A and B are shown apart, each in its own frame.
Chain A
Amino acid sequence: MHNLILEIQRKTRNWALIFWILVFPLILTVLFRLIIANAYTTASSPAQVGTLSLNNDPQLAAVLDQLETEGIITLVEPEQADAVLEVQDDGQLVVHMDDNGIAQTIITAIANQYQQTRALTEQTGILPDNSQTAYLVERTMPSNKSLIYINYFTTLAMGCLSSAYFGLKAINDLQANLSEVGKRLACSPEKKSHLVFKQVLSNNLICMSLNLIQILVMKYLLQIDFGTHTGFILLTTFLGSWLGNGLGMVVGGFLKLNYNDKSNLLTAIIMLGNTAAGMMLPQIKYLVRLYCPLADALNPAALITDAYYQLSFYGLNGTYYRLIITMAVIGLLFYLLTLLILRRQRYASL
């Protein structure tokens, strides 16, 4: 037990890793909150939208109805509107406006976003009909908090996945051919499985604590809504660290590269994963989901981001449970593979 306490003490003194797990993601979150969040604010009163030939596009009608319900726009007669949306016979959406103010900009943005999203869904045909409207509404909302929340949750995913560096260091310390301490541990009367378990436990405890600090800052200082399911927020955080730590261990155990190269590889995986999960531009996330659904389904950053997203916007549902089960299973696979590599390991050379 004392050994475990020393393990935790040792790891909390690694300031470089704590920077990547807590400080850097927090900096990003604050920047997103201060800079990008404002880009999604709406005008003080809803834009007034007129429509022509809407029966040519029933889905647009449904989207506009939803936007009106959300308070983004008000549907009025064309003569009273800030801008008029006309659906032509060939399905093209045209915006007519006499002025060029904030309201017109919002309406133009809605029209463009709708057309792009519609075109993507039609090309891929992936989304079932009954979710089409909701999906289109979500993507079309100019003040949609869901878009900026994707940015927020990807920074949290980055923090969770950065626990991979702890996992990598743990494997480095356990293997006799990678570190001197590994030699000493290999000669000790402690079973490899116990040593690995101690590493996994201490890593997860520390990383989860750091991620929780980030959540607390996001929730109470930056006023980001995580939903009301506190227990499941904790569970998601734990599974995020679990997944990240496992990723680091399996990269450290399997690849025949030096420590720096493995660390760089992890950085690439985490950054790429977060970009694909929508960190830089939330729309990328949907493109990945549309064009490469398997990558989206297995991307650790996307799994974590989507899990928080589901909790925040939709609460507990089948999608959420699928996500956390996937995270748990992938993480477990990583740990089992790691144990398989390390168990009774002897070396041809040191």
Chain B
Amino acid sequence: MLIKVENLVKRYGDHLALDHLNLEVKEGEILGLLGPNGSGKTTAIHCILSLLTYDKGQIEIFGQPMRPNAYDIKRQIGIVFQQVAVFSELTVQENIHYFCSLYIKDKALCKQYVQEAMRFVELEEYANFLPAKLSGGLLRRLNIACGIAHHPRLIFMDEPTVAVDPQSRNAILQGIRQLNEQGATIIYTSHYMEEVEQLCSRIIILDHGQVAAVGSKEALKEMITLKQKVSIDQITLTPYQQANIQKLPHVYALDYAHERLEIKYNSQEHCLVTLLDYLEANHITYGRVYTEMPTLNDVFLEMTGRELRDDHA
């Protein structure tokens, strides 16, 4: 076990940010920490890194207690913070070199790692640019390079793709996969479920400072009732027809409003076929039909009654 957190409690005044949090991180995995704003993801990371004091609990990294002066442990950790953390007066190359040299004392090796890091994040042509001249996406890449240049064994990434354009985001996610393939263990926090689903081998869903659920994305989806969701636009149904549809096999929830039908199934077996057969048999006309498999947001919604993202549609 690379990281072991037991009974972590953190309060900000009267507000309980982490409520007896327990988590473990295995070597070689990409662990996703998923949760809405204010669920405690960043607080958990900061406590694990000994940046924040906490009220109760134990934290071990690489089998040793984590403390502010645990320099041997810190030497093997890389961090990509949510906000860009670089010096505005230094160029791209100088920034990466500055932070890499805090970890790697061998001058030649440090130089080599800096070049590798720039290649990795595709910032070679921007080597002599100051951060003010970079776009948001490029700045995020620089932020990542500064955090991983020294080839850490364990990497914390705190929402590294916030406010980043889709192209840069894909490049970042691709880079993270590469890092994992090269042997790094990654803890990835986000409130973008699509990223976490795409990237992470194991996911912890946090809510109000507690673990709401743990497992792979498939295991998490197995935990909930919802197995398939069918939506149909431009459909007119009488209450009688709605009641009949509700009685179809595996239907456990139905929502009809503004000529839009949404049905939740607790199984994936022949659900759509059965529904369409019924509609044809009753001469009910309809517009677009689409099916969705359950998302992590559905997992979160079923477990907590709330959406993962405030802006989730």
Residue of chain B at shortest CB distance from A347: B52
Those of B194-215 within 8 Å (CB) of chain A:
none
Residue of chain B at shortest CB distance from A12: B89
> Which one, A6, A11, A350, contacts B52 given CB within 8 A?
A350
A256 at the B interface (CB under 8 A): no
Interface residues of A (CB under 8 A from B): 2-3, 6, 9-11, 13-14, 173, 176, 179-181, 183-191, 344-350
Output the least CB separation between B155 and chain A (Å): 12
How many residues on chain B are close to A (CB under 8 Å)?
A: 34
Residue of chain A at shortest CB distance from B77: A187
* Supplied contacts A2-B110, A14-B89, 9 more A-B pairs, CB within 8 Å: A180-B84, A183-B51, A189-B75, A189-B102, A191-B71, A346-B50, A347-B51, A349-B12, A350-B52
> B103 near A189 (CB under 8 angstroms)?
yes
**Main SS of chain B's interface residues?**
mixed
By a CB distance below 8 angstroms, the chain A residues around B12 are 348-349
> A350 near B103 (CB under 8 angstroms)?
no
Residue of chain B at shortest CB distance from A181: B85
A222 to B95, CA, bound (A): 41
B87 at the A interface (CB under 8 A): yes
> A188 near B52 (CB under 8 angstroms)?
no
Residue of chain A at shortest CB distance from B147: A184
Ordered by A's residue number, 30 sampled pairs between the chains whose C-beta atoms are within 8 Å are: A2-B107, A3-B98, A6-B94, A6-B97, A6-B98, A9-B89, A9-B90, A9-B94, A10-B89, A176-B51, A179-B85, A180-B81, A181-B85, A181-B87, A183-B79, A183-B81, A184-B79, A184-B85, A186-B68, A188-B74, A188-B102, A188-B103, A189-B72, A189-B74, A189-B102, A190-B71, A344-B68, A344-B69, A347-B51, A350-B52
B49 at the A interface (CB under 8 A): yes
Residue of chain B at shortest CB distance from A349: B12
Interface residues of B (CB under 8 A from A): 12, 46, 49-53, 68-69, 71-72, 74-75, 77, 79, 81, 83-87, 89-90, 94, 97-99, 101-103, 107, 110, 146-147
> Which one, B77, B85, B89, contacts A183 given CB within 8 A?
B85
Residue of chain B at shortest CB distance from A344: B68
A189 to B71, CA, bound (A): 5
Output the least CB separation between B85 and chain A (Å): 4
> A6 near B85 (CB under 8 angstroms)?
no
Residue of chain B at shortest CB distance from A6: B98
A3 to B77, CA, bound (A): 19
